[in-house]
Amino acid sequence: MDIEVSQSRVRGRARAPPSKSYTHRAILAAGYSGGALVYDPLVSADTKATMRSVDAFGGDVDREAGENHLDVTGFDGRPDVPADVIDCANSGTTMRLVTACAALADGISILTGDSSLRSRPQGPLLDAIDSLGGRAESTRGNGQAPLAVKGPISGGTVSIPGDVSSQYITALLMAGAVTEEGIDVDLETELKSAPYVDITLEVLDAFGVDAEKTEQGFSVPGGQSYDPADGEYHVPGDFSSMSYLLAAGAVAAADDDEVVVAGAQPSAQGDSAIVDVLERMGADIDWDEDNGYITVRHSDLSGVEVDVGDTPDLLPTIATLGAIADGDTRIVNCEHVRYKETDRVSAMADELTKMGATVTEEQDVLTVHGDESALEGAAVDGRADHRIVMSLAVAGLVADGTTTIAGGEHVDVSFPDFFDVLSDLGADVRRQ
């Protein structure tokens, strides 16, 4: 589906969707439990993949029409061997978390996904499972899905790089809690995307599971049970998704008006850093943390340097802001952002260039030269990546003319009603 976005002014109130990261973890945590209610979940293409995985392991995820929660019947820490291949679709989080869960089952589980997911690295997690006494293989021998995973593992100590994906650590901690021995994770390199592991620790704590940071990495004792207070868990709002709405307000809010985004309660989400980034760029932005509201007004922005080592999902948003700001916006420590649904560093460089931006791309640095950029409507490719699509839509709000974005349907991954929300704020959005 193509989306056309024309130069627009926006105003009003919006609510970002629930957090995708928290929803994934909460669904699987409820699966590890005897059962739980997950309130305010994000129901999207990615999280549906995690729901299907819980079903495949012998649990059941029930969502009644019109209800604001999932009723999860868990497999109580003892996953069955799936009767069929688990299709993780485009969800890298599902693939990583479910791979470790599969290592608990007494038999062989097969995991696959779409072409994009089958190109993403899984090797370090497979090696970790092997070192814990399981067997985990890439069927093509290239460290990528399809994967064959055989358990059960009983726990132990494992070394793993921290600079490829924090999801490996999350997967091992979640599975390790229900092993006999627990799992100690020693990091071989500096941990990238560390706030995502903080999210994991927060969710584990909410489900009654102890896990901690250590000098070497992380540790989770074995023999634990997942048991949330009152049998329920509430998912917070998603700052990754919020970033597009806040950026839209900063670059395209109507004069003497504002965009107010609800659902912004503080949490362990690293992507709440978007508020600080916008402040540093000169945005008129206020965060009422107690009530969970962020208010942003149209602002003259200036380029800054941003390290996205812990916040890779913000790179597309920041790159778009840089194309509109004065001066250079330098996004550093971003090589790991190349290993997402697509190479987001190259994708943003190429697509913003089509719109008239001047961009310098290096392996670990993306620089957007705002003073040399004048955005004009163009035909751009969303690269089948929800974050690329939404960031280009923000660029389309200020570009001269109309921007046509290919692959608009991929917002279903994390923000299914994104274009409806944008339209409700006043944006000129049309579906083709």
Q: What's the CATH number where 203 sits? A: 3.65.10.10
Rounded Cα distance, 150 and 104, in Å:
8
299 among the known binding-site residues? no
167 is in an annotated binding site: yes
Number of domains, the chain = 2
216 with 246, same domain? no
Reported in sequence order, the residue ranges of 67-181 that DSSP labels E, i.e. its strands, are: 69-73, 86-87, 108-112, 135-138, 147-150, 156-160
| Residue 92 is assigned to a ligand binding site | yes
Identify the pLDDT of residue 67: 80
The closest alpha carbon to 44, from 410, 424, 293, belongs to: 410
Domain ranges, residue 418: 3-17+237-431
Do both 222 and 94 map to the same domain?
yes
Q: Which of 177, 203, 234 is the last residue of a domain?
A: 234
Residue with tokens 């069927």: 139
Question: Each residue's pLDDT tens digit in the chain (432 positions)?
Answer: 999 999 999 999 999 889 999 999 999 999 999 999 999 999 999 999 999 999 999 999 998 866 899 999 999 999 999 999 999 999 999 999 999 999 999 999 999 999 999 999 999 999 999 999 999 999 999 999 999 999 999 999 999 999 999 999 999 999 999 999 999 999 999 998 999 999 999 999 999 999 999 999 999 999 999 999 999 999 999 999 999 999 999 999 999 999 999 999 899 999 999 999 999 999 999 999 999 999 999 999 999 999 999 999 999 999 999 999 999 999 999 999 998 989 999 999 999 999 999 999 999 999 999 999 999 999 999 999 999 999 999 999 999 999 999 999 999 999 999 999 999 999 999 998
> What secondary structure letter does DSSP report for 422?
H
Q: Which residues of 325-334 are buried (b: 16+ CB within 10 A; e: fewer)?
A: bebbbbbebb
Which residues are the active-site residues?
313
The pTM (predicted TM-score) of the whole model is 0.85
In a shared domain, residues 254 and 223? no
Query: Token digits for 294?
Result: 């962020």
Q: Is 11 one of the annotated binding-site residues?
A: no
